[in-house]
Amino acid sequence: MSKITAAITAVGAYVPEYVLTNQILETMVDTNDEWITTRTGIKERRILKDEGKGTSFLAIKAAQDLINKKGIDPKDIELVIVATATPDMKAASTAAYTATQIGATNAFSFDLEAACSSFLFGMSTAAKYIESGRYKNVLLIGADKNSSFINYEDRATCIIFGDGAGAVLFEPNDENLGLQDEYLRSDGSGREFLQATYGGSSYPMTQEAFSEGKHYVFQDGKTVFKNAVFNMADVAVKILERNNLTKDDIAWLAAHQANKRIIDATANRIELDNNKVMMNIEKYGNTTSATLPLLLHDYESQLKKGDNIIFAAFGGGFTWGSIYLKWAYNS
Ligand code: UT7
């Protein structure tokens, strides 16, 4: 009997309409288009402005896009995972609400949080449910409304982050396509360098903390940058070596879109040509859990059955890793 592998068989996406350009940011903080473009590669990002709409709004839209494209009955979905660092609210699961709203009434669901590595770790999790033979339709959504905890007076963070969502469907495959290998890591000693300190269980919100803006995301950009460059490149090399792959075997690098210079450094380390590096950071900025599925959505028409894709991500925690996946369809 051939081994069951977990393949991605459909992709959907959604980004909000409002476009926050570098030119608009120039009017909000002391920055300029030239600095943002050369230091990060970002030109614009999308922001969900509507009051009362949270991450689930983005997740539902991305899932509906996938359901319509693939023409599946949402009642056939057995598990919905929402990878997110910005859940709708405390206690109530964003995934449960999302699953019900898209009509996945036969599914169980849960949120998965690993900062910017949430979607990558979600790929690993979704694949295990398929590989075990237990489930046949697992919907993984990466969604974040980063604007909900960004201080738009802090130029160290507001120029980077945006809102968005992407979704993929995992199904069993008997041609050995889909997820092949993974190398996932974390190191909690890095948490002081990227965090939103207040509003969680360690430091519940107080009036004083709120007025001092301690609920916003703080980042020591330089330290995060250094760790991201080293670790993302390191895991990409490890995945290649472990699977006896050379740069010529790789069709695509799908790397977390946090900073173009981090992506370029990873690509250089594995000596990959530019035309094999998926890139859309200029349009969306860093959408945390949505960067990888948004890449798959934007590049879907260029992907071919059997293509070897190396995924890589790095994020708060610290969390990071790499996944080697064989693409399963021509669109
Ligand atoms: O998603 C996973 C987690 N996040 C990341 O992976 C992000 C990692 N970090 C980064 O991408 C970069 O560190 C940033 C884009 C955040 C910052 O870039 P940098 O090259 O590390 O800049 P820096 O903080 O070292 O600052 C360099 C200079 C400073 O001026 P001086 O001291 O050299 O005169 C800053 O004051 O650039 C200045 N600067 C800015 N200038 C215009 C810092 N931020 C800005 C800004 N606009 N937004």
**pLDDT tens digits for 212-225?**
998 999 999 999 99
The answer to whether the beta carbons of residues 46 and 206 sit under 8 Å apart is: no
Q: Report if residue 26 sits inside a domain.
A: yes
Q: Report if residue 288 sits inside a domain.
A: yes
Nearest CA to ligand 1 atom 42: 31
Q: With 0-12 CB in 10 A as exposed, 13-18 as middle and 19+ as buried, what is 4? A: middle
- The Cβ-side half-sphere exposure at 13, using a 13 Å CA radius, reads 20
Using the 3D structure, point to which of 136, 153, 175 is the last residue of a domain.
175
- The count of domains in the chain is 2
Tokens at 72, concatenated: 């599946």
The answer to whether residues 159 and 196 belong to one domain is no
**Is residue 158 annotated as a catalytic residue, yes or no?**
no
Per residue in 129-187, pLDDT (tens digit) is 999 999 999 999 999 999 999 999 999 999 999 999 999 999 999 999 999 999 999 99
Q: Report if residue 315 sits inside a domain.
A: yes
At 1 the pLDDT is: 55
The answer to whether residues 159 and 25 belong to one domain is yes
Q: How far is the CA of 37 from the centre of ligand 1 (A)?
A: 12
The answer to whether residues 44 and 88 belong to one domain is yes
Ligand 1 pocket test: which of 32, 118, 159, 222 has the largest number of ligand atoms within 8 Å of its C-beta?
222
Using the 3D structure, point to which of 142, 175, 208 is the last residue of a domain.
175
Is beta strand 44-47 parallel, antiparallel or unpaired with respect to 18-21?
A: antiparallel
Closest ligand 1 atom to residue 286 Cα is 1
pTM for this one? 0.96
Q: H-type helices in the chain, by residue range?
A: 22-26, 33-40, 55-70, 94-101, 118-131, 155-158, 207-211, 221-242, 260-269, 281-284, 291-299
Using the 3D structure, point to which of 138, 156, 175 is the last residue of a domain.
175
The answer to whether residues 259 and 315 belong to one domain is yes
Nearest CA to ligand 1 atom 25: 222
Q: How far is the CA of 183 from the centre of ligand 1 (A)?
A: 29
Ligand 1 pocket test: which of 225, 266, 284 has the largest number of ligand atoms within 8 Å of its C-beta?
225
Q: How far is the CA of 156 from the centre of ligand 1 (A)?
A: 6
Q: Report if residue 117 sits inside a domain.
A: yes
Per residue in 70-128, pLDDT (tens digit) is 999 999 999 999 999 999 999 999 999 999 999 999 999 999 999 999 999 999 999 99
Q: Report if residue 302 sits inside a domain.
A: yes
Ligand 1 pocket test: which of 259, 266, 284 has the largest number of ligand atoms within 8 Å of its C-beta?
259
Q: Report if residue 331 sits inside a domain.
A: no
The answer to whether residues 130 and 226 belong to one domain is no
Nearest CA to ligand 1 atom 21: 222
Q: Tokens 């896009």 correspond to what residue? A: 65
The answer to whether residues 225 and 272 belong to one domain is yes
221: domain CATH number is 3.40.47.10
CA terminus-to-terminus distance, the chain: 29
Domain range for 217: 179-326
Nearest CA to ligand 1 atom 14: 221
- Nearest partner of 160 among 327, 330, 316, judged by Cα: 316
Tokens at 197, concatenated: 């300190």
The set of residues, in sequence order, having a beta carbon less than 8 Å from that of 157 and lying 6+ positions away, is 150, 151, 216, 217, 218, 219
The answer to whether residues 33 and 161 belong to one domain is yes
Tokens at 232, concatenated: 């993302």
The answer to whether residues 112 and 141 belong to one domain is yes
- Distances from the Cα of 92 to the Cα of 68, 111, 123, angstroms: 27, 10, 23
Closest ligand 1 atom to residue 288 Cα is 1
The answer to whether residues 68 and 143 belong to one domain is yes
Per residue in 249-301, pLDDT (tens digit) is 999 999 999 999 999 999 999 999 999 999 999 999 999 999 999 999 999 99
Q: Report if residue 49 sits inside a domain.
A: yes
**Is residue 256 annotated as a catalytic residue, yes or no?**
yes
Taking the C-alpha atoms of residue 325 and residue 226, their distance in angstroms, rounded to an integer, is 26
The answer to whether residues 46 and 21 belong to one domain is yes
Q: How far is the CA of 155 from the centre of ligand 1 (A)?
A: 8
Cis peptide before 230 (omega within 30 of 0): no
Taking the C-alpha atoms of residue 95 and residue 140, their distance in angstroms, rounded to an integer, is 10
Q: How far is the CA of 222 from the centre of ligand 1 (A)?
A: 7
Nearest CA to ligand 1 atom 17: 221
Per residue in 278-292, pLDDT (tens digit) is 999 999 999 999 999
**Is residue 116 annotated as a catalytic residue, yes or no?**
yes
The answer to whether residues 154 and 59 belong to one domain is yes
Go through 164-198 and write b for each residue having 16 or more CB atoms within 10 A of its CB, e for each that does not: bbbbbbbbbbeeebbbbebbbbbeeebeebbbbeb
Which residues does a 6 A CB cutoff place in the pocket of ligand 1? 31, 35, 39-40, 116, 155-156, 159, 194, 221-222, 224-225, 228, 258-259, 262, 286, 314-315
The model's confidence at residue 3, banded by pLDDT at 50, 70 and 90, is confident
The answer to whether the beta carbons of residues 137 and 8 sit under 8 Å apart is: no
The answer to whether residues 93 and 194 belong to one domain is no
Closest ligand 1 atom to residue 31 Cα is 47
- Nearest partner of 82 among 57, 65, 105, judged by Cα: 57
Q: How many CB atoms lie within 10 A of CB 10?
A: 22
Taking the C-alpha atoms of residue 187 and residue 172, their distance in angstroms, rounded to an integer, is 32
Spot the catalytic one: 116, 231, 259, 297: 116
Strands of the sheet with 319-326, listed across from one edge: 178-186, 319-326, 308-315, 252-255
Nearest CA to ligand 1 atom 26: 222
Q: Report if residue 261 sits inside a domain.
A: yes
